């Protein structure tokens, strides 16, 4: 029985969806439930300093073996899951994928993805079709815990000090807010939060959030001529003023986007919620300027104060920091190659805790977990990829 598989299945069933509307940390109580489970698991393995702080961050370390002067390497994953779809996960097992259309328990089908042909014959963990699976990032959590078990075994390879950390609220951009970089004790780190096996990422988006508020004038529709300002319709005008070809569904690679994540409203008041993303910092500023220009045009049309915009920076492209430490990238490439995995160096079309941690003094590129289709009901992870990533992490920290 695969140990990392069993750990992942246990962790995946804990409801840890984060919630941006809640200002507390962690934003949802289930994250502390998982944190307490992880502390117990780590302590049972022999991680004597495993602990969870009052904010739900879990820390621990494995002492050096054979070379106390080696750099202290950190490994980080997040405990929360995306709120894009429900998070009450009931993982399902496909013992040996036959290459055909995958029909989930509730009728959702997984087909048409190029990667599926390469998974034929493998054991897959999928969802019931009612929720995310949580491989983002409980696969990374399970892989790191299993690494600790391997390093604490009598036959473990020599290694420096290994620092592990599990964060709350990464999916809502707060995972690094209260991370104790100094107390963590690593010289550099890796987040284990990527997708397909072999991914190695050190470039990410520059990111901002945007809330657009619209104040309307509600009048009985029978008397509305030249008097009503329908806030919901003004919000729709705003949305149409942003270029449709710069939405996530029309972009790839280094192309940035405006992404409408939520909306609400009636005649009197409406709100649009966006995230803005671009690998190029200058182009992100252009997107912010476009949002403000749309606000100003609508206010000239409907009256000052009709539309308000709240822009907030979220994180920056970690390339600016990580590229100053090429040795940590080479170490990751070698770990993949030593285990027969071709490194896939590519930009992240998203962000990780490592983006902000890199600017907090902890250089932190991102490694794969082995999963696919994150943030949706069609999320899945092959069990061989879970197992292989543990081998990669062992090689990553070993002195050889």
Catalytic residues: 80, 170
Count of C-beta atoms within a 10 Å radius of residue 108: 16
CB 286 within 8 A of CB 219: no
Please list, residue by residue across 338-375, b when 16 or more beta carbons sit within 10 angstroms of its beta carbon and e when fewer do. ebebebeebebbbbbbbbbbbbeebbbbbbbbbbbbbe
Q: Closest Cα to residue 76, out of 381, 318, 349?
A: 318
Rounded Cα distance between 258 and 279, Å, is: 13
- 58-62/206-215 β-pairing: unpaired
Residue 347's φ and ψ, nearest 5 degrees, are: -75, 145
> What's the residue count for the chain?
400
CB 234 within 8 A of CB 306: yes
Rounded Cα distance between 365 and 336, Å, is: 14
CA dist 222 → 215, 228, 229 (Å):
20, 10, 14
- 124-126/380-382 β-pairing: antiparallel
Residues with Cβ within 8 Å of 224's Cβ and at least 6 positions away in sequence, in order, are: none
Token reading at 51: 């602990």
DSSP letter assigned to residue 57: -
Please list, residue by residue across 53-66, b when 16 or more beta carbons sit within 10 angstroms of its beta carbon and e when fewer do. eebbbbbbbbebbe
CB 19 within 8 A of CB 81: no
Residue 286's φ and ψ, nearest 5 degrees, are: -65, -40
């Amino acid at each position: 029985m695969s140990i990392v598989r069993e750990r992942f299945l246990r962790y995946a069933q804990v409801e840890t969806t984060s919630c941006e509307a809640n200002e507390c940390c962690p934003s949802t109580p289930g994250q502390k439930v998982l944190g307490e489970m992880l502390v117990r698991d780590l302590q049972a393995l022999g991680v004597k300093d495993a602990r969870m702080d009052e904010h739900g961050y879990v820390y621990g370390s494995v002492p050096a073996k054979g070379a106390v002067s080696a750099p202290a390497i950190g490994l980080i994953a997040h405990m929360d899951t995306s709120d894009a779809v429900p998070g009450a996960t009931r993982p399902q097992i496909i013992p040996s994928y036959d290459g055909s259309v995958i029909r989930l328990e509730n009728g959702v089908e997984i087909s048409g993805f190029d990667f599926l042909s390469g998974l034929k014959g493998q054991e897959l963990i999928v969802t019931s079709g009612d929720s995310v699976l949580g491989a983002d990032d409980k696969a990374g959590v399970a892989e790191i815990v299993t690494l600790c078990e391997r390093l604490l075994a009598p036959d473990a390879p020599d290694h420096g000090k290994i620092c592990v950390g599990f964060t709350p609220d990464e999916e809502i951009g707060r995972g690094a807010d209260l991370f104790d970089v100094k107390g963590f004790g690593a010289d550099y780190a890796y987040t284990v939060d990527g997708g397909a096996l072999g991914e190695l990422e050190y470039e990410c988006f520059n990111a901002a959030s945007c809330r657009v508020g619209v104040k309307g004038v509600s009048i009985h529709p029978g008397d509305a001529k030249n008097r009503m300002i329908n806030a919901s319709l003004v919000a729709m005008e705003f949305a149409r003023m942003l270029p449709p070809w710069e939405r996530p569904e029309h972009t790839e690679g280094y192309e940035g986007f405006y992404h409408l994540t939520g909306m609400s409203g009636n005649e009197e008041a409406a709100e649009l919620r966006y995230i803005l993303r671009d690998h190029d910092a200058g182009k992100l500023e252009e997107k912010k300027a476009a949002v403000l220009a749309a606000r100003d045009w609508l206010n000239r049309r409907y009256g000052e104060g009709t539309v308000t915009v709240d822009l907030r920076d979220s994180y920056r492209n970690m390339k600016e920091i990580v590229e100053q430490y090429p040795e940590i990238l080479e170490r990751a490439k070698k770990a993949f190659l030593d285990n027969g995995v071709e490194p896939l160096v590519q930009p992240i079309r998203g962000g990780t805790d490592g983006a902000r941690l890199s600017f907090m003094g902890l250089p932190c590129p991102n490694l794969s977990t082995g999963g696919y289709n994150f943030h949706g009901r069609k999320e899945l992870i092959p069990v061989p990829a879970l197992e292989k990533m543990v081998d990669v992490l062992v090689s990553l920290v070993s002195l050889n």
